[in-house]
């Protein structure tokens, strides 16, 4: 996954995390959902960060 795509997925995963009330321990689920939402194939299956990125 290139850096630009990773940033898009990370931003979407953060949005999902916020929408769900900022639950703990669901980073991988949010990452997977973000990939599905954006139509991105992630072969690592592990989010690069376990803590959501700060909002910009």
Tell me how crowded residue 39 is: count the other CB atoms within 10 A of its CB: 6
Q: Residue 56: which pLDDT band, with cuts at 50, 70 and 90?
A: low
| Confidence (pLDDT) at 2 | 85
Q: Give the separation between CA 25 and CA 2, rounded to whole angstroms.
A: 25
Question: pTM value?
Answer: 0.75
Read off the pLDDT of residues 4-54 as tens digits, 9 standing for 90 and up: 999 999 999 999 999 999 999 999 999 999 999 999 987 766 565 555 555
Residue with tokens 């990773």: 6
């Amino acid at each position: 996954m290139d850096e630009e795509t990773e940033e898009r997925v990370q931003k979407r995963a953060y949005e999902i995390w916020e929408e769900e009330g900022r639950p703990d321990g669901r980073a991988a689920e949010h990452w997977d959902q973000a990939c599905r939402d954006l139509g991105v194939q992630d072969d690592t299956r592990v989010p690069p960060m376990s803590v959501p990125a700060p909002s910009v």
